[in-house]
Structure 1
Amino acid sequence: MISPVQRPTSERPALKRFIEAQNLTKSFTTNAGELHVLKDIRLSIQEGEMVGIIGASGAGKSTLLHILGALDRPTSGSVLFNDTDIFSLDSNALALFRNTEIGFV
């Protein structure tokens, strides 16, 4: 017996927030003074969502990814992963988080 194909319904379960950046700023000190790379960035990515980050050279794409991946700390603001502020973790827990939860493609 062949079973009928189930068609997806229009009702989808609500996606939960997976990673969220709140008011991220990142500045670097240079010989010319303070360089503000990220200014008040807000970003919310839901579980299963695919996101592309585009911009001109020097716009802060790599800096943002380094912060979201816990490779660098923001000057201010927070990054939440499943409602946990990742930068509130101690160095061992943060290393474990990077090892088990983060990957770049």
Structure 2
Amino acid sequence: GSPAPLRTGQPAPAERSASSAQSTQRVFIKITPGAELKGLLPRLQALLQTHPGPAATLLFYERNQKVLALSDSYRIEPSEELFAAIESMLGAGTVRIR
């Protein structure tokens, strides 16, 4: 799937508009049992809040195979820098974008 072209003529609005919600990317972060044991979730949430953006964040708990969608306050701006920080915290291959 190629990324949808941005609407020409105007920069994307920074504020969250409900009309564009269906085209928003979603970021899946895998939470391994080890990450849960180490108590890394508060650190992850703090990290996410330093990269606010349009993409919804979902946590996939490997231990019980459950997906938890985080609230809108944890929407993020996907970037290689952010994903590298998440993977250094939680392990390689723990971040997926859809």
TM-score tier (shorter): under 0.3
TM-score (norm 1): 0.26
> Bigger relative contact order, structure 1 or 2, given CA contacts below 8 A and separation 6+?
2
Which is richer in strand?
A: 1
TM-score (norm 2): 0.27
Between structure 1 and structure 2, the one with the greater Rg is 1
Which is richer in helix?
A: 2
